[in-house]
Amino acid sequence: MSDHPMILHGYWRSGTSYRTRIALNLKGLSYEQRAIDLRRGDQAGEAYRALNVQGLVPALEVQGQVITQSPAIIEWLEERYPDPPLLPHDPLERARVRALAAIIGCDIHPLNNLRVLTALKGQFGADQAALDAWAARWIRPGFEALNAHVSARGARFAHGDQPGLIDCYLVPQIYSARRFNVDLSPYTALLRVEENASAHKAFIDAHPDNQPDAD
């Protein structure tokens, strides 16, 4: 358990908040949740901007400090609470895992998060079908690469038989892909990871539907 109280500011359906909850749960850490309703505009309010000037979620309050950006939060958790590990021991394997997680964190998720979709609707008149097609355009190539890796490993999770960093990113992105009506049938290895995660308490407790601010 954590030796300091932690407060996670996030939104139940945010992929970045979701991945951070998974990491906290895998580490067995206790934390309080503070809901930032992105639809209502809480992220732009003065109180939240005082914590995170960028106005994005999540933000983690810990030890009198605030950590923003989910990759930085998860890396801090790994450094501060190394057991159980989210990264392999070998430096080259660690780099490989970070690169695979970045396929989602850098190449997929930023292009289909709420503020991008809002811009596509507001500035370019995109309807839901167009938004679904836009999201799929970026999800498919990333999932093809990840599926090849997971297939080669033949393990229960993305990089082994225990969940780790890639899974923190992957499971929320699969959830998001379903919201955009992406056909996931080609990605059999990724669906196997999702099935194993669905029976793991850390993932169950982190699921959007199980959050206190969920619809």
pLDDT tens digit string along 41-74? 999 999 999 999 999 999 999 999 999 999 999 9
- End-to-end, the C-alpha distance of the chain in Å comes to 29
pLDDT tens digit string along 74-107? 999 999 999 999 999 999 999 999 999 999 999 9
Task: Return the SS3 of 124.
Answer: helix
Do 95 and 198 fall into the same domain?
yes
Q: How many domains does the chain have?
A: 2
Do 111 and 174 fall into the same domain?
yes
67: CATH:
3.40.30.10
**What residue numbers bound the domain in which 133 lies?**
91-202
Asked, for residue 33, whether it belongs to a domain, the answer is yes
Asked, for residue 208, whether it belongs to a domain, the answer is no
Rounded to two decimals, the pTM is 0.96
Phi-psi region of 84 (alpha: psi -120 to 50; beta: other; left: phi over 0): beta
Please check the confidence at residue 1 and state whether its pLDDT lies above 60: no
Mean pLDDT of 108-134: 97
pLDDT tens digit string along 160-190? 999 999 999 999 999 999 999 999 999 999 9
Do 104 and 165 fall into the same domain?
yes
The residue type found at 88 is: P
